[in-house]
Structure 1
Amino acid sequence: MNIESRPLRYAHAEGHTDVCFTEDGQHIITCGHDGDVRIWNDIEDDDPNSHCVGESALAVCFKDKRLYVANDNHAVQAYTFPAFDKDGIVTRFTAPVTQIMSTFKIEALGCCSENMEAKICNLEGGAPLFVLTEHKGPVLSVAICPHMKYAGTACGDGLLRIWDIDTQKIVKEVICVPKINTFFSAKVLCRISFEPSEGKYLAYPNNREIILLDCESWGQRMSFTHNLIKCAISQCLFSPCGQYLAGSTVAGQIAVWEVQTGACVGIIEHPTSHNVSAMAWNPKGNGVLVYCDVAGQLGMLVNCYGKDSSKIGANTDTEDIEMIERADDNDDLVENLIENYESDDENAISLEKIKNETLGIHSEKDESRPTSRQAAPVPSTVAPQPPFQPSSTPSHLEHRYMCWNDVGIVRCHTGENGESSIDIEFHDSNLHHGIHLNNYLNHTMASLSTSVLALACETPSKLVCISLVGSSKEWSVSMPDTEEILCVVATSSIVACATNARLLRLFTPMGTQRQVISLPGPAVALSGFNTTVIAAYHQTDPGISDQHLAMDIIALNGRQVRSKTVNLPLTPSSKLAWIGSTDAGSPCTYDNTGILRLYDIASGVWMPICDTSTHSRGASDSWFIVSISEPTQTVRVILCRGTSFPLTVPKPIVTEIPIQIPLCELDTEKGQYEEQLVRWAHTTSDVDMKTARETALKLFALACRSEIEQRALELMELLKDDRLLPLAAKYASRLGRMHLADKLTNLAEEWEKEADKLNVAQNSHFQELESQETYDVTSTAQEDMNASLIIPQKTRKKIENVTPIKPAPIKSSPGGARNPFKKQQDVTKNVQSPLSLTERTLVEVHATSDSAENKDPLKPQEGETFVDWFSRNKSILEQQHPDLTPSELTRQCIRTFKSVQSKNCVNGEGAQKRKLEEESSADSPIANAPKQSKLSAFAFQKKT
């Protein structure tokens, strides 16, 4: 028979209404926004018993002859039934309780609240059995499996979480809930339900269908939907027998499916199309379903099993149920008799018996379900991370940050009437004044730079940019019909947006379409610096617990575009929370576990530079990244207590935490010095060479005092600093470690020999380098191999403007005793401890006397090759060009050698030479140009 709908009855005032049955199925209990609890004998009861419990009551549940009601005091109050006397408080929350649930097989109560918590409580009250935290929004619903092994919660942050009650950990997360910031604005309640008999399946609504998960593999078993369902399903509920599944939509449609076959028994349209707020099956198993809507009305459906349930509903005795159980028992008995009869027959040949005895194959009769319905377990995988805007808060909030970076703050405010506005505040008021905009297009994404403000909306997808340079000019561009913007970024020189068509669209700050690039996977986030765009995307499908992400570093120079793909590391079972770049241009990422990583373009490696969790006081605290400064070695962050994003009111305070590479034993003095040297080597820090040498020398002293001479020698070989070597040798001799001092003395000669061999090897490729373009992808990494591996070459160029002086070679004395530390000038006899070296001690170097017989050493001798000429004049060329790297100096010397050689051939030996400085400025204007950032290594530099 078809499902029948009884006429609606007024139950409570307009608002959220809840309903349940007593365990014997005799009474219907409702509660509503008016604060009353009503007990109905039937839907046709004209005079139900009414009890006032407060100003409002959001949830009600009946269990073991007691009634549990969520009142306006944010407490779960117990009442006796039918006397309706107060019987204690089960638990309390700090926000309204959104649902109370229990089943006939579990001796516990599941409660959830708007304060981002859910609890599994004892029926008698006291401390909760399990508190389900880690939610980032109001908890809409909770469900517990009949064996008390798993629990499920649906939260307003968009996630359905499945918990293991024994281990109290999350075993599965599913994205299926529309994001909301309060329970009262939720249309989709996402009420979930476990199969009540064995707990094999979990049903949850997902858009216009209901998904059935297998509780063993957590893979999708099957889905239920119908072509008449035109809107999102709000809740689902298993029947007491577990064979039927009911679901309701936000438009009031109620559908019932048969779980075994997946067939739809019927769909009932709500007379007034109000959203259904609660449903309850009659525990008698007679196919009766009652429901309430947001208008406070009570309704009933009969024949939901597709059978005539009038007779079952009329008889209140349990004889019918017992007869059904006995019939089932008789069927099982008949099957057992047949099976035993076949197996006991000695003359009968049973193939099933042979299989069972020999191969151990079980018969299909022993299976609880047909084999055609048992799918292979699917490995559980995490959901792909959706796209997001770095330095922004969730879009479902009424007051949120659309962008907060080192330029300014973009806020979005949405009123109760749906009107939205955008405020832009700049940190430097001299740069630009504040801006207030009406958000007519409902922009959800924003990015701010010193030259442009970029805004974007999803549907209809449109990019709107406001120029901040000169007079504010606004331009906009609409995406193609089926293309939607997922994320946007604006830098000082470019605007980019990634779309769902896996396209990266690039624009100039004034609106010229610059380029369209195809991304290898779905976009996750965008970032940028100057003329470089960083696009993060899904490289492959997520694994069992990890996201597989990668990023493209796309650099633009004029009409040229070049890209480099880099895998993006994440902490296990984490997600990307922020992506950006430092003020020096180094790409950085931050995951939701608190690990901040920096990509060193010169070495091509990712380094963890900060663990923000070590700076948190509470376990639920998190940090919101604003910007990263390499020169000051700090990260500007906002502390978020109990949440993952900052609130707009009151305005949060930006704090600074230091950058620290997580080396081992950072609490020791040795670990701290090692961390400083490694950090200074891979970041652009405002640390001069005196401080770096002092730290290195302190580390050397610690190795000497620990009587580990090999470590001290290894440190000097690793540093390869000519000015640090005499100081280290002097300290070793003062400690009486002459063997170590002799080894340090020989290092200078070995370094010179290695440098000569390296120059010969490099000069063999000079002619090839001269014919190529001047740019190189790995030019920053192909520096002099004799450079220090810890003390950065770029820092030395930046700080040292004086001419470097090499120490004099150490020679043996005539008497055979070697004293390499004797100096021509008087020195202080009182030597200070290397752990407190002064600045004057660190700048002690040995001077070299350059004796050149030739008046003009740059003049090539007759028959002299470039290799011999470069080796003879290397020290002079280094003095004349202190700002050039070894590779840049080599290219410059090639041009100088060719020009001098050709000029001698034309003008003769007596012709006057042009100065080397003029030749350098005329031939190589690009080689002497300062670097703007680390990302400039990807920019083109064409030879003029």
Structure 2
Amino acid sequence: MASLIASRPRPRPAHTQGSTRCAYTPDGTKLVTVGSNNTIRVYKTGFDGEPTNIDDCQEQNTSVSASNDFFVAGSEDGTVSYYSLKDNLFEKFICRTSLPVRDVALSPDNKWCAVASDELTVKVVHVEDTTKMSTLREHNKPTKHLSFDPKGSMLALSCTDGIIYVYSMTAEHPELIKKVDGVIGRMETDQEASCRVAWHPDGRAFAVPTPTRDIQVVSREDWEKQHTFANGHEGDVTALAWSPNGALLATAGKDKKLLVWSTKDQSVVARYEYANVIDIVWHPTKNLASFTTSDGEVFISPEFVSDQFESMLRLPKQPAPFIHDPDGKRPETNGRAQLPTRPRRNSLDSLDDLLDDDLDEDDFVVDDDGAGYALNTGRKRPAEDDDIYGGHPAKRGNFVQPQHHAPFQPGSTPWRGNRKYLCLNLIGFVWTIDQDSSHNTITIEFYDSELHRNIHFTDTFLYDQACLNEKGALFSCPPKEKPSSPAIVYYRPHDPWTHRADWRIELPKGEAVLAMSLSDTYITVTTSANYVRIYTLFGIPVRIYRPKNTPMVTCASWRDYVLTMGNGPVGADGMCKLLYTIQNVKRDEICQNEDTVALPEGVTVKSVFFSDEGEPCIYDSTGTLLTLLHWRQPSRAYWVPLLDTKLLSRLASGRKKESYFPIAVAYGKFHCIILKGGDQYPYFPKPLLSEFEFSVPLTSVPDKANKSKSFDAEQEDEEMEDVDEPEQKEEVKLTQSYLLKEIQRAQLTDLLDNSKGTSSERARLGRLEVEIDKTLLQMLAVECREGTEEERGMRALEVVQLMRDASGKMVEAAGKIAERYGRGVLGEKIRELGEGRVAERLGRRMREEDEDDDDDF
């Protein structure tokens, strides 16, 4: 793809042999060069004559940065000089260092100058008032290069220790926000090889040379590696620069190559041969670039890009080359068009917004997503659309555009750099690494390495979703346009007992997987065509249906039960209500049909899963874990909170800022990954799991006993940090225990009422009811101890009335507790309650005996 320029530019001897640097003014009218001699040259763009010389300058100038009115130059004697471009004269020194200056950079607003030297600090000096100065000290090695981002909000330092230090410049005092390690190599400040950070013009990423002689792109959103400009140079890279619109990248190396790359596909579009190039700058508006060499020469190259690719310079600003865009420019849509979630523009409270009689009847907005009416934008309906409406023009209603809940795969994370977790649960981890455009590598790592060995394989299908359980792993990939290929669902058992147990199924053309789930018996797949597809573990389709409420959002499954969620009618806040359905696939029974997920306004579901006991659970964006009670009986289900993570004791001091990524509910605890700071998703290295006891939100006082328990001893010490807090009252603890046991009792009772049940489950229910009554006895003792009989007598009696004891022993024990604390009236009421229950039991037994006698007769 090589292309040569029409005429090779002539070298212009500008300085003596040594480091030679150049810079265009932002308006492109002038090019300034500095070098080893005591002369600075200013070239006028478009003028082929001799440049203007500035002789009143320092020798051994090593760097230059220019504005339209002035430029600054740093030299090896430790001075940074300010020169006027209006008069072409030296005006002042703005900074001095004790060691040689290696780089200078003006901020985009030209008010500040950053100075790097062989010292261990970097100075940021106000150009006009040099008494205003900040010193950057967080890095501990000399800085070789400096680079402001296009907005001037960040300053990147390439240091000799092989680390890029990024400082935020928006605060009153600049602060270090990120260390980017593992990209650049270690090098000395006087080496010709470059490790300069070149910010992309859109400001969302930067490019930097690597020790492998490639150019690595790094995202500023998550500081992860993106695309690489590879296999271009055979020697160390000495210079690089983006074109003004970011469509092209120019690089030079010690291999005497000067290359021009296409940003979009990282291919070389032009190759030139120039020796010893150490600096490159693009003209801001023209097809023109200039570069300097260590021989003191300057090349000004008009028509730098050939006619074949010159049109790329006329494009608007191009995006940085991301593998997976962390800023949402390429949202996580699994290969499908993202459903619109536009905010409300009109209030439902305004009749004028809904009924506008002055509008043209023919004004119409096509509902291109099939999900509801769109807001009017003044466009008329195309004439060819009349066929859809029977040839009659439709009167346009100015309705609110609904906001949909976006689809998601439980237990997965978005792409971050070139990595993504496909599945996180208590069985193990599944993650993928994007190696290039042709294949990924997938790793399955199990917690129980004795039961299953870890799996690592090359993925040419580019799977982007996965499920994992003890029997197998399920994967899916999106459809592709070029080359045309359908979405694929792939199941891989861990221990196949046949020669070919794994299988793949292709979905119809254009249909993409939104979410999927895997149980011990069934595979469930929800798709962009608004279908729910259910398969056996051997790929036999047993259900294909279209749910009543779409678009689909997610799904979960446990044994024969499948839970699906979809968007329902629009609520008062303009957000679609989230509806769920639970069905037993094997028995073809609907347990809950399009019931509403209990979410406050503006809240979304972060994850949905079944507990190890088979109870549906959700974790929402407020950090609340809820479970569904009585879900096996139609129209009886309701959501109850098990834990509000905002009330955890670890957050009581307000010093910690963390959130929690839900993993599972198992063994009576909430398992999650603790995310520090503002992180939304876990990342590498592999995160550790923590667990929290359930705690029904009753009071703002945190539960001091509820500390995270990590599987790693060192993290446990960190997470168990004490927080100063008031002691929680005993009655709150007992009430908490009572409510949690009541939830367990309700779940177990539902299970026994709707299944055969086992003897151990029935015995467990009996023990649980005894424990509930014992807890109520403890609550009664607190009521009797804490207050007078007049104050707490009725409350204490209510506690006794909650007892479920059928034998009367617990009520009798309650009476003894009342006597112990001298509560005579309460004791009498409890005895009356006990006698009434005995009489009720006797009456019920007699009625049952009479019914048996009638049956016998």
Q: TM-score, normalised by structure 1?
A: 0.48
The Cα shift of 1:462 comes to: 0.7
Alignment of 1:883-898 (within 5 A): none
* Amino acid in structure 2 at the alignment position of 1:517: Y
The Cα shift of 1:748 comes to: 3.1
* Amino acid in structure 1 at the alignment position of 2:675: C
The 1-side partners of 2:600 and 2:475 are apart by 31
Change in CA separation of 1:93 and 1:39 when aligned onto 2, cut-off 3 Å: farther
Alignment of 1:398-547 (within 5 A): 398-415=418-435, 419-429=439-449, 431-460=451-480, 461-468=487-494, 470-471=496-497, 473-519=501-547, 520-540=549-569
The Cα shift of 1:575 comes to: 3.8
The 2-side partners of 1:10 and 1:742 are apart by 112
Q: Does 1:658 align with 2:693?
A: yes
The 2-side partners of 1:578 and 1:429 are apart by 27
* Alignment correspondent of 1:605: 638
The Cα shift of 1:250 comes to: 5.1
Deviation string 1:606-655 (CA, Å, 9 cap, x unpaired) is 222123342556644232322212xx421222323343333342x43323
Percent of pairs with identical residues = 19
Q: Does 1:730 align with 2:730?
A: no
Conservation of the 8 A alpha-carbon contact between 1:90 and 1:121: no
Q: Does 1:870 align with 2:848?
A: yes
* Amino acid in structure 2 at the alignment position of 1:627: A
The Cα shift of 1:490 comes to: 0.7
* Alignment correspondent of 1:719: 803
* Alignment correspondent of 2:661: 624
Deviation string 1:768-790 (CA, Å, 9 cap, x unpaired) is xxxxxxxxxxxxxxxxxxxxxxx
Higher strand residue share: 2
Which of 656, 677, 680 does residue 644 from structure 1 map onto? 680
Conservation of the 8 A alpha-carbon contact between 1:179 and 1:396: no
* Amino acid in structure 2 at the alignment position of 1:464: Y
The Cα shift of 1:726 comes to: 0.8
Change in CA separation of 1:76 and 1:445 when aligned onto 2, cut-off 3 Å: farther
The Cα shift of 1:498 comes to: 1.3
* Amino acid in structure 1 at the alignment position of 2:775: T
The 1-side partners of 2:738 and 2:769 are apart by 11
Deviation string 1:275-313 (CA, Å, 9 cap, x unpaired) is 699xxxxxxxxx984699999999999xxxxxxxxxxxx
The 2-side partners of 1:644 and 1:491 are apart by 27
The 1-side partners of 2:591 and 2:425 are apart by 26
The Cα shift of 1:661 comes to: 0.7
The 2-side partners of 1:534 and 1:626 are apart by 17
The 2-side partners of 1:528 and 1:110 are apart by 47
* Amino acid in structure 2 at the alignment position of 1:702: V
Partner of 1:526, secondary structure, is strand
Partner of 2:149, secondary structure, is strand
Conservation of the 8 A alpha-carbon contact between 1:455 and 1:463: yes
* Alignment correspondent of 1:921: none
The 2-side partners of 1:746 and 1:290 are apart by 98
Change in CA separation of 1:448 and 1:870 when aligned onto 2, cut-off 3 Å: same
Change in CA separation of 1:718 and 1:83 when aligned onto 2, cut-off 3 Å: closer
Deviation string 1:474-503 (CA, Å, 9 cap, x unpaired) is 111111111111222111111011111222
Stretch of structure 1 that moved more, 672-681 or 418-427: 418-427
Deviation string 1:844-891 (CA, Å, 9 cap, x unpaired) is xxxxxx9xxxxxxxxxxxxxxxxx762547xxxxxxxxxxxxxxxxxx
* Alignment correspondent of 2:778: 698
Q: Does 1:745 align with 2:821?
A: no
The 1-side partners of 2:432 and 2:555 are apart by 20
Q: TM-score, normalised by structure 2?
A: 0.53
Q: Does 1:185 align with 2:195?
A: no
- Stretches of structure 2 that go unaligned for 5 or more consecutive residues are 1-5, 12-20, 35-39, 53-60, 65-73, 75-99, 158-163, 179-196, 207-217, 229-242, 250-259, 267-282, 293-299, 305-376, 379-397, 481-486, 704-727, 749-763
Change in CA separation of 1:410 and 1:64 when aligned onto 2, cut-off 3 Å: closer
RMSD: 5.8
Conservation of the 8 A alpha-carbon contact between 1:18 and 1:292: no
* Amino acid in structure 2 at the alignment position of 1:436: H
Partner of 2:780, secondary structure, is helix
Deviation string 1:559-606 (CA, Å, 9 cap, x unpaired) is 555542332244665543221111111111113442222222356222
The Cα shift of 1:555 comes to: 2.3
Change in CA separation of 1:88 and 1:712 when aligned onto 2, cut-off 3 Å: closer
* Alignment correspondent of 1:110: 153
Conservation of the 8 A alpha-carbon contact between 1:75 and 1:91: yes
* Amino acid in structure 1 at the alignment position of 2:818: A
Conservation of the 8 A alpha-carbon contact between 1:663 and 1:675: yes
Partner of 1:535, secondary structure, is strand
Conservation of the 8 A alpha-carbon contact between 2:607 and 2:618: yes
Deviation string 1:104-148 (CA, Å, 9 cap, x unpaired) is xxxxx53387999994636xx6257x999xxxxxx99999xxxxx
Deviation string 1:782-838 (CA, Å, 9 cap, x unpaired) is xxxxxxxxxxxxxxxxxxxxxxxxxxxxxxxxxxxxxxxxxxxxxxxxxxxxxxxxx
Larger-gyration structure (1/2): 1
Conservation of the 8 A alpha-carbon contact between 2:583 and 2:589: no
Change in CA separation of 1:62 and 1:465 when aligned onto 2, cut-off 3 Å: closer
Change in CA separation of 1:541 and 1:560 when aligned onto 2, cut-off 3 Å: closer
Alignment of 1:246-325 (within 5 A): 274=263, 289=285
The Cα shift of 1:709 comes to: 0.7
The 2-side partners of 1:547 and 1:9 are apart by 63
Change in CA separation of 1:44 and 1:560 when aligned onto 2, cut-off 3 Å: farther
The 2-side partners of 1:449 and 1:523 are apart by 23
Aligned length: 554
* Amino acid in structure 2 at the alignment position of 1:453: A
The Cα shift of 1:447 comes to: 0.3
The 2-side partners of 1:551 and 1:474 are apart by 31
The Cα shift of 1:78 comes to: 3.8
Stretch of structure 1 that moved more, 509-518 or 638-647: 638-647
The Cα shift of 1:551 comes to: 2.4
The Cα shift of 1:704 comes to: 1.5
* Amino acid in structure 1 at the alignment position of 2:730: E
The 2-side partners of 1:516 and 1:725 are apart by 55
Conservation of the 8 A alpha-carbon contact between 2:63 and 2:103: no
